[in-house]
Amino acid sequence: MFEDLPGLKEHYLRCVRCGQCRSVCPVFEVVRNETATPRAKVFLAHMLASGELKPDAQMASLMSLCLLCQACTKECPSAIPVHKIVTATRSLLAREATSPLQRIIFKEIWTRPHLLNFSAGLFRGCQNLGLTGLGSSLGLLPPALSLPGPLPRRPARAFIQEITKAEGAPKMRVGYFLGCTTNFLFPAVAKSTVAVLARLGCEVVTPVDLRCCGLPQAENGQTDTAKSLADSNFAAFQRLGVEAVVTDCASCSAALQESSDLKGMEVLDLSNLLNDLLTGHNLQKVNKSITYHDPCHLAKAQGITAGPRELLDRTCTGFREMPGANNCCGGGGAFSFYHYDTSMNILNKKISSIKETGAEVVATCCPACTMQIRHGLIKQGLNIPVVHPVELLAQSLGLTFTT
C-alpha cells in the first residue's frame, strides 16, 4: 500500500497494452473512453515517472477515474499490480499537484478522531435542520452527499467499551478494529460484532485511541499519512496485548492486511473466525431469502469469498447467489463523490442483479458497499434492507441491543 512509483517501475514496464484489462474494468464499461482503461493509467504512470508528462490537475482527474477494485490486477496476464501503480501515481500527484481540499479532508480532519467526530456531528445537525436536503435540491451540494443517509444519533464508540469480557470461559483475546464508516453510519454492525464475539467466547479489545485504517488516505494520495495511521493503530493493539485483530469492514481489513506483516500481528477474517467459533452451536435461522455482494476489498484484495457465504448458510433459511456477485458496486471509497453519475451507472448493474434473485435481504461485509447499494435500492424504490452477515448471526443467537 505504501510503494512509491519509481519502486514499481519493473511492473509498469511489463505492460504490453494487450487490453485484457478493458474487459473487466467497470469504469471503462460505462465511460467507453480509452483514458478510463487500466492500461492507459499504467501508461500515464510511466510517462509521469519518466518526466515526459508533468503532474497537474488534468492528470489527477484522469487518475481519479479508477475504483481500485483490483479486477484488472486479477485479470492481467502480465501480473501487473495496476491498483498499486494507480495508488502510487496518486501519491506523486498529491505531492506535486496538491489539492488543498483533499489535504484538509484526508490529512487534517480524517486523521484526528476529535475532528472527525465534530464533522460527523455537524453533518448530522445539518441533516436534522434540513440544510443538506435543501442544498442538494438547489444544486449547491454534490448529490453524493445523500449516500450516507440519516446519520445515527450516536456513533458505535459511545456504546463499546475498551474491554468487553467473554461470556463464560474465554477462548481467545481478540482485537476489534472499529472502522470510521461502521462507527458513524452503522453502529448496529459494531454492536453485533462485539456482542457475537463475546457470546462465542472472545474477550474483545477495542482500543480507545484507534484512528482511521489509512485506506482513504492511501487511495487519495496521502500515503505517508496512511503509514502513520497504520503504525499508530497497531501500536494501540500491541499496548493492550493483542496478537490477532478482526474487523467487520472489508476495506479496513484489506488495509490492515497490507500493513500487518511489518507489525507481527495476525489479521483474521471475521467470517472465517466466526465459522470456527460456531462449531457445535445450534442456531435459530432467520426466515428470509438472502443474497450476497462480494466487496472488492474482500474478494479481490484478500481472496475471501467462501466464509461469508458459509456464515449466511448457517444463519438464513434461503441463500440465493446473484449474477456477478463479485462485480464492483461502483462505490470505490471517494469515487462516488468525484464521479457520481459514473458510479450510479455501475451501481445500476448491481441493482439489476439483486432484483434478479428476488431476495428479501442483501448482505455484504463492507459498510461502504452497504451505503452504496442501499442508495441504489432506494433510488429505484425497492424496500430491500442491506445488512452485514454478523447482524444476521446476532439475530440467530437471540442477541438484542438498546440504543
DSSP string, 343-399: HHHHHHHHHHHHHHHT-SEEEES-HHHHHHHHHHHHHTT----EE-HHHHHHHHTT-
Q: What was the pLDDT predicted at 402?
A: 64
- Kindly report, residue by residue over 284-325, the tens digit of the pLDDT: 999 999 999 999 999 999 999 999 999 999 999 999 999 999
Q: Which three cell numbers stand for residue 34?
A: 480509452
Listing DSSP states for 239-258 in one string gives HTT--EEE-S-HHHHHHHHH
- Kindly report, residue by residue over 318-338, the tens digit of the pLDDT: 999 999 999 999 999 889 999
- The structural domains of the chain, with segments of one domain joined by +, span 6-96, 102-146, 156-275, 283-396
**Structure pTM?**
0.94
Contact 160, 183 (CB under 8 A): no
| CATH entry, 6-96, from 3.30.70.360, 1.10.1060.10, 1.10.10.1100, 3.40.50.800 | 1.10.1060.10
280 falls in which pLDDT band (50, 70, 90)?
confident
19-23, 254-258, 326-330, 374-378: the lowest-pLDDT one: 254-258
- Calculate the average pLDDT of the chain: 93
Listing DSSP states for 126-181 in one string gives HHHTTHHHHHHHTT-S-GGGGTT-SPPSS-GGGT--SEEPPSSS--EEEEE---HH
| CATH entry, 156-275, from 3.40.47.10, 3.40.50.1860, 3.40.1280.10, 3.10.129.10 | 3.40.50.1860
127-141, 184-198, 253-267, 352-366: the lowest-pLDDT one: 253-267
Mean pLDDT score, 362-381: 97
Contact 152, 187 (CB under 8 A): yes
Do the first three CATH levels of 156-275 and 283-396 match, i.e. the same topology?
yes
**SS3 for 279-346, per residue?**
CCCCCCCEEEEEEEECCHHHHHHHCCCHHHHHHHHHHEEEECCCCCCCCCCCCCCCHHHHCHHHHHHH
Indicate left, alpha or beta for 280 from its phi (over 0: left) and psi (-120 to 50: alpha): left
Asked if residue 52 has pLDDT above 60, the reply is: yes
- Yes or no: is domain 283-396 CATH 3.30.460.80? no
Q: Which residues pair with 363 in a beta bridge?
A: 292, 387
Asked if residue 163 has pLDDT above 90, the reply is: yes
Residue-level length of the chain: 403
263 falls in which pLDDT band (50, 70, 90)?
low
